[in-house]
Amino acid sequence: MLVTVENGRAVKVAGDPDHPFTQGFLCAKVNRYLDRTYHADRLTTPLRRVGAKGRGEFVAISWDEALDTIADRLGTVARGPHGPQAILPYSYAGTMGLLQGQSMDRRFFHALGASKLDRTICSTAGTEGMRMTVGANMGADGEGLPQSDFVLLWGTNTLTSNPHLWPFVLEARKNGAMVIAIDPIRTRTAEQCDEWIPIRPGTDAALALAMMHVLFAERLHDADYLARYTLGEMELRARVAEWSPQRAAGITGIPAERIAELGRQYGRAKAAFLRVNYGLQRHFGGGMAMRTIACLPAVTGHWRRPGGGVQLSTSIGHRFNLAALVREDLSPPVRTINMSRLGEALTRPDAGVGGPPVQAMVVYNSNPAAIAPDLGAVRRGLGREDLFTVVLEHFQTDTADWADIVLPATTQLEHWDVHLAYGHYQATLNRPSIAPIGEALPNTEIFRRLAARMGLDDPCFADDDLALIRQSLDTPHERMKGVTLEALLARGWVRLNVPRPFLPYAEGNFPTPSGKCEFYSERLERMGIDPLPTYTPPRELPETAPQLAARFPLVLISSPRHKFLNSTFVNVKALRGNAEPECQLHPADAAHRGITDGMRVVVHNDRGHFTAVARVGDSVREGVAWAPSVWWTKLAKDGRNANDTTSQGVTDLGGGATFYDNLVEVLPAD
């Protein structure tokens, strides 16, 4: 992102035309980054709560008073009967910068002996799925996509959540590739594809198994690649023999003919690109689904060629020295709390979390009162009078309303950072372009000052932000060769030391225990999980939970609204417009509930409810409802959002959140 500054004020943000992947344009949201940075509601001073919890009534205080209050209270908790593990950090994706998201903050909590947080809310199921099959969450290079002859956009709303990939998709299509979307929703992406395959939610593994059935049955496999670079071919063949297209049709809702043809199209292609994204792993069987899909390119040998393979992420390709940043060695052995079960951790510590109750929580880069599942439980927890809550924020969010102390943080225009990428192989420097707004401070500086206040005297707390950047780059890893501060300062980004396009598994080299693509996984076997690819159904589908489905027959998917970034940008008027929370329904589902387009509806299940405006059309599969998310609850008429209905259940692998494994009923609000 290039920022133009005049007299100390940023006046324009634009994409960098020289960047090989983002190619000179910004997404719909970040285009409005100035509206957000200079928003009249930016927090400019520390605040102390004066009203009841959750009311959002605060007065301005000085940094000294704020930091003294926090140090005093955290110190009291740490020295108390439950010890420092009663303190919980809570952070995720508000910024994904390594400095502002995982450096001083982690050092601070580690040295304090606070509980650790398992950051599962987005990607751990898929990450583990990839790890079990190919060894790491590192896949095909999007810059090779133009050379692909068959593109499957599988559980990804590319035009919304990954728009920079789109020009590469268009180039592949210009070169003759067919582009197909596999999604329960006809998203704006699916609309632009050659075909939309409306799959039943959470059933992707069944589709992938049947595709492999066809590949072997019709001899479309690459025998040489299989022999050299894979483990468990015979076992896989036996497994997929059970998965005829007819069987998968009954599960996925896709006609058997279409499944068989998809297997053939895939097998005849020379370099099929599977862009899988995180949508399809937000179901109970998400880890196994990802693992199963990741087997496909090894069956056909597509990893050999540019444009071939599967991409869930490129993040593990980046090898910053995270160990030096987070300094886990400073931490004593402590318990870990799964962030996807925050409601339970705050309200029912004995019910599974174990260890002492959470008495203090420090939230930064996250808005759990909007984005965490089962918001009813989360709000009950945040409302506890005995819980001390600190929130570092740009804005008075849903979560900040529950805080005891709110601290104003800087935005990306105001601080230093470095970033890995999860869709390409360039490392990025974020340099500040303007002075902080008001009294805002970078997260790094806030934790540095807190560490000093609390007497944490390890020399690492004296590192300034540039020192942190140098430490993050100080690594002997081959792929980071050339990624230096000097090179980053010169251009803003540096391509990792990998060929273009990068073909990570062209000649095997899978970072698994066996060094091969593991169709058969001993690691899974040891975990008591099926060692072979299989279909693990969602928890909430009519066939798995018939009694629940009788009362709540629709699967609710609450994936991002085009102009929101999770809960970021929701308060930017230029992006929200006059919109209200919506719920899209298939005409057949709407008709027999007496729902018409524009009608106010209640979406509910046993966990909770929220209201929305109904949108009726055939852009969702029958039996599926779509609530574009993630709304600030305080900007909705009823003070709720889709996460009032989502569950704290976690995935088969990685303990991930299951936002889309969610049965609901939708009724007219009246």
Ligand X SMILES: Nc1nc2c(c(=O)[nH]1)N[C@H]1C(S)=C(S)[C@@H](COP(=O)(O)OP(=O)(O)OC[C@H]3O[C@@H](n4cnc5c(=O)[nH]c(N)nc54)[C@H](O)[C@@H]3O)O[C@H]1N2
Contacting positions for ligand X (CB under 6 A)? 29, 92-95, 100, 121-122, 154-157, 160-161, 182-185, 187, 199, 201-202, 204, 277-280, 283, 364-367, 371, 392-395, 397, 409, 443, 557-560, 562, 564-568, 629-630, 642-643, 646, 659-660
DSSP letter string, 391-421: EEESS--TTGGG-SEEEEB--TTTS-EEE--
Least separation in angstroms between CB 122 and Mo ion: 3
Which residue, judged by CB position, is nearest to Mo ion in the bound state? 122
Q: What does residue 568 show for φ and ψ, rounded to 5 degrees?
A: -85, 145
**Run of H or E including 363:** strand 360-364
Least separation in angstroms between CB 365 and Mo ion: 12
Give whichever of 358 and 625 is closer to ligand X, judged by the CB atom.
Answer: 625
Which of the choices ligand X, Mo ion, none does residue 100 contact, using the CB cut-off of 5 to 8 A by kind? ligand X
Order across the sheet with 309-311: list the strands: 195-197, 178-182, 150-154, 272-276, 309-311
Least separation in angstroms between CB 353 and ligand X: 20
Least separation in angstroms between CB 516 and ligand X: 27
CA distance 208 to 247: 12
Which of the choices ligand X, Mo ion, none does residue 537 contact, using the CB cut-off of 5 to 8 A by kind? none
Give whichever of 82 and 634 is closer to ligand X, judged by the CB atom.
Answer: 634
**26 binding Mo ion? (CB under 5 A):** no
Give whichever of 296 and 409 is closer to ligand X, judged by the CB atom.
Answer: 409
Which of the choices ligand X, Mo ion, none does residue 359 contact, using the CB cut-off of 5 to 8 A by kind? none
CA distance 105 to 230: 41
Give whichever of 92 and 225 is closer to Mo ion, judged by the CB atom.
Answer: 92
127, 133, 136, 137: CA torsion to nearest 10: -40
Give whichever of 27 and 226 is closer to Mo ion, judged by the CB atom.
Answer: 27
Which of the choices ligand X, Mo ion, none does residue 154 contact, using the CB cut-off of 5 to 8 A by kind? ligand X
Partner residues linked to 310 by β-bridges: 274
CA distance 500 to 498: 7
Most distant CA atoms of the chain, gap in Å = 72
Which of the choices Mo ion, ligand X, none does residue 161 contact, using the CB cut-off of 5 to 8 A by kind? ligand X
Which of the choices ligand X, Mo ion, none does residue 512 contact, using the CB cut-off of 5 to 8 A by kind? none
Site string for Mo ion, 553-592 (x = CB under 5 A): ----------------------------------------
Least separation in angstroms between CB 217 and ligand X: 23
Helices (H) and strands (E) in the chain, counts: 26, 26
CA distance 575 to 28: 8
Residue 39 exposure: Cα atoms within 13 Å on the Cβ side: 21
Give whichever of 428 and 559 is closer to ligand X, judged by the CB atom.
Answer: 559
**With helix as H, strand as E and coil as C, how does 557-623 read?**
ECCECCCCECCECCCCHHHHCCCCCEEEECHHHHHCCCCCCCCEEEEEECCEEEEEEEEECCCECCC
Give whichever of 121 and 288 is closer to ligand X, judged by the CB atom.
Answer: 121
CA distance 291 to 299: 13
- Considering only residues 104 through 143, tell me which ones interact with Mo ion, judged by CB under 5 A: 122
- Burial of 400 (C-beta count, 10 Å sphere; 0-12/13-18/19+): buried
Give whichever of 162 and 411 is closer to Mo ion, judged by the CB atom.
Answer: 162
**Interface residues with Mo ion (CB under 5 A)?**
122
